[in-house]
Amino acid sequence: MTEQQQQGLCDLIRQLGTKAQALRDAGLQIESKGRQDFVSEADVYVERVLKQWLAEQFPEDGFLGEESGLVAGKSGVWVLDPIDGTTNFIRGMDYWCISLAYVQQDSIELGIIYAPDRHEFFFARRGAGAFLNGKRLVLQEPAADAVVVGMGRSSRTTVARYTQTLESVLNDGIEYRRFGAGALMLAHVASGLVHAYYEEYINSWDVLAGLLLITEAGGSSNAFLENDGLLEGNVVLAGCTGVVSRLSLLLPSLKQ
């Protein structure tokens, strides 16, 4: 990717964030994909425009989008969640984002997360660091008694498993938050608002950009892309290295 292409991509994502806001403010058309699972015309619009731009700029690459699925390519693959946190978005909450990652040979090479309502633009390239609005991000380990983690819950796992996880975390003296947008919570791990993020099952378009942000900021993550995580999803645990190690001993899906 040239510097011109990189700048063009970042500019386009910012423009699409503004367009999504405008569509919401004008009154969205919304469809249900399942229980508490929605897609809006903004999701569809953002994915269509980004998919077309990427195909024109990188014709050898594949594309995997939450709404339109997989288009195979000869090189890497672009992985997009056009709006992560759609329920928050359609209800006027600010906790939603556009999340885009580029994967080549099972390595996450680029990650962008943009939260328009919060004016937060996250960017990372492998080996070049992670940034929020141009400022480099560097993770700091928290004190043992001050850990706060982000938690997600998938409908593909049971409520009992989720409450078991919460009980384990709380009994170990760890606080948690759940805001309904895994991609943005991962970005906020990278920026230090929370110290780790865990979800027992999550799709690749929700996590890949955030995982690169965290590792480029000095943190750790599980090997999400193993076991066909790109197409099938996987468990995710990422954050400050010490917190990740501590959580690995507590969480039911990660205990050996």
Find, among 32, 122, 38, the residue nearest to 84 by Cα. 38
Catalytic residue check, 206: yes
Tallying the residues shown for the chain, one arrives at 256
Q: Which of 47, 61, 67, 81 is catalytic?
A: 81
What SS3 state is found at 67?
Answer: coil
The alpha carbon of residue 6 and the mean position of all alpha carbons in its chain are separated, in whole angstroms, by: 19
What SS3 state is found at 224?
Answer: coil
* Rounded CA separation 54/17 (Å): 17
* Rounded CA separation 187/96 (Å): 11
Locate 96 and state its tokens. Answer: 């939603």
Q: Which of 199, 206, 215, 216 is catalytic?
A: 206
Q: Which of 47, 84, 200, 216 is catalytic?
A: 84
Q: Which of 43, 61, 66, 67 is catalytic?
A: 66
Q: What does DSSP say about strands 196-202 and 234-239: parallel, antiparallel, or unpaired? A: antiparallel
- CA angle at residue 213 from 22 to 159, to 5 degrees? 80
Q: Which of 86, 90, 98, 215 is catalytic?
A: 86
Catalytic residue check, 83: yes
Q: Which of 43, 61, 83, 165 is catalytic?
A: 83
Catalytic residue check, 157: no
Single-letter code of the amino acid located at 45: Y
Catalytic residue check, 84: yes
Residues marked active site are found at 66, 81, 83-84, 86, 206
